[in-house]
Amino acid sequence: MLRYPREPACSTFPESYGPGAAQTAAQNEGCGFAHGRAEYVVQDDRAALSTRLNAQIEDHDAKVGPSFLMRDLAGTGLQDVWRYEILPLLTEHHYGEGVDLEARYGLATLRRQATRDAADGAEGASVDD
Protein backbone atom coordinates (compact mmCIF):
# COMPACT_ATOMS: atom_id res chain seq x y z
CA MET A 1 0.00 0.00 0.00
CA LEU A 2 1.44 3.37 -1.03
CA ARG A 3 0.63 6.86 0.10
CA TYR A 4 0.89 9.60 -2.48
CA PRO A 5 0.49 13.29 -1.69
CA ARG A 6 -2.43 14.92 -3.47
CA GLU A 7 -4.15 18.24 -3.71
CA PRO A 8 -6.43 18.36 -0.69
CA ALA A 9 -10.10 19.23 -0.81
CA CYS A 10 -9.49 21.39 2.24
CA SER A 11 -7.01 24.13 3.05
CA THR A 12 -3.31 23.42 3.54
CA PHE A 13 -2.64 26.52 5.63
CA PRO A 14 -1.63 25.85 9.22
CA GLU A 15 -3.37 27.60 12.10
CA SER A 16 -0.68 30.28 12.39
CA TYR A 17 -1.56 31.99 9.09
CA GLY A 18 -3.62 35.12 9.56
CA PRO A 19 -7.13 36.03 10.75
CA GLY A 20 -8.97 33.11 9.12
CA ALA A 21 -6.77 30.57 10.85
CA ALA A 22 -9.42 29.36 13.31
CA GLN A 23 -11.89 28.75 10.50
CA THR A 24 -9.20 26.99 8.43
CA ALA A 25 -8.30 24.74 11.36
CA ALA A 26 -11.97 23.83 11.80
CA GLN A 27 -12.30 23.05 8.09
CA ASN A 28 -9.25 20.80 8.25
CA GLU A 29 -10.61 18.76 11.16
CA GLY A 30 -10.53 15.12 10.07
CA CYS A 31 -9.04 16.00 6.68
CA GLY A 32 -6.24 13.41 6.93
CA PHE A 33 -3.33 15.81 7.02
CA ALA A 34 0.23 14.74 7.56
CA HIS A 35 2.39 17.81 8.15
CA GLY A 36 0.18 20.07 6.05
CA ARG A 37 -0.36 17.63 3.16
CA ALA A 38 -3.37 15.49 2.50
CA GLU A 39 -2.71 11.92 1.47
CA TYR A 40 -4.69 9.20 -0.23
CA VAL A 41 -3.97 5.50 -0.25
CA VAL A 42 -3.19 3.60 -3.45
CA GLN A 43 -4.17 -0.05 -3.30
CA ASP A 44 -3.06 -1.36 -6.66
CA ASP A 45 0.10 -2.51 -8.39
CA ARG A 46 1.53 0.87 -9.46
CA ALA A 47 4.60 0.72 -7.23
CA ALA A 48 5.45 -2.82 -8.30
CA LEU A 49 4.94 -1.91 -11.97
CA SER A 50 7.17 1.14 -11.62
CA THR A 51 9.87 -0.96 -9.96
CA ARG A 52 9.71 -3.66 -12.65
CA LEU A 53 9.68 -1.06 -15.43
CA ASN A 54 12.77 0.69 -14.10
CA ALA A 55 14.53 -2.65 -13.60
CA GLN A 56 14.13 -3.22 -17.36
CA ILE A 57 15.67 0.18 -18.22
CA GLU A 58 19.45 -0.05 -18.27
CA ASP A 59 20.23 3.67 -18.62
CA HIS A 60 19.84 5.32 -15.21
CA ASP A 61 18.97 8.67 -16.82
CA ALA A 62 16.08 7.10 -18.76
CA LYS A 63 14.33 5.59 -15.75
CA VAL A 64 10.71 6.65 -15.31
CA GLY A 65 9.83 8.67 -12.22
CA PRO A 66 6.77 8.11 -10.06
CA SER A 67 4.95 11.30 -11.08
CA PHE A 68 3.33 9.52 -14.03
CA LEU A 69 1.49 7.28 -11.59
CA MET A 70 0.76 9.80 -8.82
CA ARG A 71 -2.75 10.75 -9.89
CA ASP A 72 -6.22 9.32 -10.05
CA LEU A 73 -6.01 6.48 -12.58
CA ALA A 74 -9.48 5.00 -12.14
CA GLY A 75 -10.91 3.08 -15.07
CA THR A 76 -8.49 2.93 -18.00
CA GLY A 77 -6.24 5.65 -16.60
CA LEU A 78 -3.26 3.40 -15.95
CA GLN A 79 -3.42 1.88 -19.44
CA ASP A 80 -3.74 5.35 -20.96
CA VAL A 81 -0.77 6.73 -19.02
CA TRP A 82 1.27 3.72 -20.06
CA ARG A 83 0.28 3.93 -23.73
CA TYR A 84 0.33 7.71 -24.22
CA GLU A 85 2.99 8.92 -21.80
CA ILE A 86 5.41 6.21 -20.62
CA LEU A 87 5.84 4.19 -23.83
CA PRO A 88 6.35 7.32 -26.01
CA LEU A 89 9.05 8.48 -23.60
CA LEU A 90 10.80 5.13 -23.97
CA THR A 91 10.24 5.18 -27.74
CA GLU A 92 12.23 8.40 -27.90
CA HIS A 93 14.96 6.94 -25.69
CA HIS A 94 15.30 3.82 -27.89
CA TYR A 95 14.94 5.63 -31.22
CA GLY A 96 16.68 3.71 -33.99
CA GLU A 97 17.53 0.70 -31.81
CA GLY A 98 14.74 -1.58 -33.04
CA VAL A 99 13.56 -2.42 -29.52
CA ASP A 100 10.10 -4.02 -29.26
CA LEU A 101 8.82 -1.65 -26.58
CA GLU A 102 5.57 -3.49 -25.93
CA ALA A 103 7.40 -6.79 -25.43
CA ARG A 104 9.97 -5.20 -23.14
CA TYR A 105 8.08 -2.44 -21.29
CA GLY A 106 4.40 -3.09 -21.97
CA LEU A 107 1.95 -3.06 -19.10
CA ALA A 108 0.76 -6.61 -19.88
CA THR A 109 4.37 -7.82 -20.10
CA LEU A 110 5.30 -6.39 -16.71
CA ARG A 111 2.16 -7.83 -15.12
CA ARG A 112 2.92 -11.27 -16.59
CA GLN A 113 6.42 -11.03 -15.09
CA ALA A 114 4.87 -10.28 -11.69
CA THR A 115 2.57 -13.28 -11.97
CA ARG A 116 5.46 -15.50 -13.03
CA ASP A 117 7.69 -14.21 -10.23
CA ALA A 118 4.93 -14.78 -7.67
CA ALA A 119 4.41 -18.32 -8.94
CA ASP A 120 8.16 -19.01 -8.78
CA GLY A 121 8.25 -17.75 -5.20
CA ALA A 122 5.30 -19.92 -4.20
CA GLU A 123 6.93 -23.02 -5.69
CA GLY A 124 10.11 -22.42 -3.69
CA ALA A 125 8.23 -22.02 -0.40
CA SER A 126 8.01 -25.01 1.88
CA VAL A 127 5.63 -25.69 4.74
CA ASP A 128 8.43 -27.41 6.66
CA ASP A 129 10.66 -24.29 6.71
Residue 107 has pLDDT above 50, yes or no: yes
pTM of the full predicted structure? 0.59
User: What per-residue confidence (pLDDT) applies to 36?
Assistant: 52
**Which of 70, 48, 50, 63 has its CA nearest to residue 118?**
48
Query: Which tens digit of pLDDT belongs to each residue from 38-94?
Result: 555 555 789 899 999 999 999 999 999 999 999 888 888 899 999 999 999 999 999
pLDDT band at 33 (very low <50, low <70, confident <90, very high): very low
- Number of helices (H) and strands (E) in the chain: give both, helices first: 6, 3
Q: Rounded to an integer, what distance in angstroms lies between the CA atom of residue 54 and that of residue 105?
A: 9
